[in-house]
């Protein structure tokens, strides 16, 4: 009986995740420049913050993102938060 409860709980949790992720995409911006803040975290601590007017891009097959900041290419991956400030 205990195994059945654990099994049913696991199925319920997995199906909830699948429903919650429907319609999600990796598109970050609509290819129009916007005011954006990118925050990089390490170990739960804020490491670096970039605020700029531009576009954040992602690379197919990669977990990272890239953007231009002060005319320099910046590539980030890991724990990041991308916020649209508009």
Which pLDDT value is given to residue 12? 52
Contact in structure between 60 and 10 (CB atoms under 8 Å): no
Q: Is the pLDDT assigned to residue 13 strictly greater than 80?
A: no
Task: Return the domain boundaries, the chain.
Answer: 2-84
pLDDT digits (tens, 9 = 90+) for 25-69: 445 556 788 999 999 999 999 999 999 999 999 877 888 899 999
Q: What is the DSSP string of 2-17?
A: HHHHHHHHHHHHHHHH
Q: What are the residue ranges of helices labelled H in 1-86?
A: 2-21
- The C-alpha atoms of residue 38 and residue 80 are separated, in whole angstroms, by 7
- The C-alpha atoms of residue 82 and residue 76 are separated, in whole angstroms, by 11
């Amino acid at each position: 009986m205990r195994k059945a409860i654990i099994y049913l709980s696991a199925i319920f949790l997995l199906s909830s995740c699948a429903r919650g992720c429907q319609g999600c995409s990796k598109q970050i911006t609509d290819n129009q420049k916007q005011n954006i803040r990118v925050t990089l975290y390490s170990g739960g601590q804020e490491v670096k913050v970039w605020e700029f007017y531009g576009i954040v891009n992602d690379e197919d097959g990669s977990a990272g993102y890239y953007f231009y900041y002060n005319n320099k290419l910046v590539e980030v991956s890991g724990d990041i938060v991308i916020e649209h400030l508009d």
